[in-house]
Structure 1
Amino acid sequence: MPITRDYRALAVAAAKGIYTWDSRSSSYSDIYARVRSWWELLPDGSNPLSALVTEFEGTGVTAGTFVELAGQSARRVGTAQSLRCDLELAKVQEYPAPWEGLHVCTVTVEVVDETSNGRSVYAAPVTVMLNCPPALTAPSYRCAMVAFYATAERIVY
């Protein structure tokens, strides 16, 4: 994950990273730990790790299904196709971010899933929430991902 104040670049990197893994070289725990390392908890507890688990599983991978996928040498690659942030999103215009420095971006990712049984390609939207300076809860020198949404009912348009 890049260390940057460019929330757009961070949103793209996060969305691609959430949808990129390889069961031939990583376990479910490895992949979850990588994504977990990007999710920075807020002091008010509004972005609990239970939400991270739910949203990561919204990408179609759970600890249980990963065992089966690993048996098929599964791998997934996400490539960002489009990015819309803040005022480009109707829901954010309707319900603005609660503090200055919080950004909401929705990235459409082209996902390529490959297994020993075949290949499929599809588009997946991911909404990424980023906490950036001048927010008091943000690191002073960079933006931080504080949430992402992969489940359909949580995607921001």
Structure 2
Amino acid sequence: MSLTRRIALPGLSRRRRWLFVAFVVVSVATVLFALTRPTPGPAPASSTAPTPQVSAAPSGGPDSKSLATAPAVGGGEGGGAPRTTDFRRLAAAAATAVYTWDTRKASYSEVYSGLRNWWHVLPDGSNPLAVFVQEFEATGINAGTYQYLAGQRAVRSATVESMMCDSELAKVRERPAPWAGLHVCTVSLRVLDQSASTRNTYTAPVSVMVNCPPAASAPADHCIMVGFYAAPNRVLY
């Protein structure tokens, strides 16, 4: 039995060596494959990136109805209507006041109420405050735009270039004033708008209605403004 074992040992040893060599070869091949295998790089970024969406802020200016009922706050840039029986002087001053304000010195409420104090509602209600609001906004100003312009430190000023009154206006000749003492003047203004970054000049017409003695609806000793038109389609020529 020992002889048989001795005869078998050489073959067994050769087989074991072959298996060991094969194992080593396979192991080396595996290591080499792992070392030489290319490493995958990161996935390429997409060529189109999403664009961020910007939402517009809603505008929040008050409407005409709310402005018509705004309480009086005090004098604005107009400084108050002159106390005079000269209707031309009052018309020129009123037209200038319509196009005069300074965002550095007065709020919109102060400008609005200051000019509102010039406007006297007639006993028959033919010149309601709703018309005042409409015509004032026709100059390009409301609470929203004024707030924006305040950030630009904007100032508006005006000077009189020319003026025509009563029979000098074709529309008044066609339809004369309904009572003595009521006058209509159309004033041509040279307006200057200035801000921190801009400066602009232009011409703006304003028709002003002035009520003077001897009208029963006017004070006995001075004239009052009872209306103005700034919208281009309402100015009288």
Identify whether the pair has TM-score above 0.5, normalized to the shorter chain.
yes
Shift of 1:148: 0.4
Residue identity over aligned pairs, in percent, reads: 57
CA distance in 1, matches of 2:146, 2:219: 34
CA distance in 2, matches of 1:41, 1:108: 24
| Residue of structure 2 in register with 1:60 after alignment | 140
For 1:5, the aligned partner's letter is: T
Q: After superposition, give the CA deviation of every residue in 1:37-64 in whole Å (9 maximum; x if it has no partner).
A: 0000100000000000000001110111
Larger gyration radius, structure 1 or structure 2? 2
| Residue of structure 1 in register with 2:39 after alignment | none
CA distance in 2, matches of 1:114, 1:65: 14
Q: Does 1:48 align with 2:128?
A: yes
Q: Aligned to 1:10, which of 64, 87, 90?
A: 90
Q: Does 1:38 align with 2:97?
A: no
CA distance in 1, matches of 2:205, 2:156: 15
Task: Please give the TM-score of this superposition, normalised by the length of structure 2.
Answer: 0.66
Q: Aligned to 1:122, which of 184, 191, 202?
A: 202
For residues 40-119 of structure 1, the aligned pairs below 5 Å read: 40-119=120-199
Q: Counting strand residues as a fraction of each chain, which structure ranks higher? A: 1
For 2:167, the aligned partner's letter is: L
- Unaligned stretches of 5+ residues in structure 2: 1-80
CA distance in 2, matches of 1:146, 1:58: 17
For 1:12, the aligned partner's letter is: A
Q: Secondary structure at the match of 1:64?
A: helix
Hey, which bits of structure 1, 4+ residues long, moved more than 3 A?
Answer: none
CA distance in 2, matches of 1:99, 1:138: 11
Task: Please give the TM-score of this superposition, normalised by the length of structure 1.
Answer: 0.99
CA distance in 1, matches of 2:145, 2:175: 36
Larger RCO of the pair (alpha carbons < 8 Å, separation 6+)? 1
Q: Aligned to 2:232, which of 145, 148, 152?
A: 152
| Residue of structure 1 in register with 2:222 after alignment | 142
Shift of 1:117: 1.6
CA distance in 2, matches of 1:117, 1:28: 21
Q: Secondary structure at the match of 2:233?
A: helix
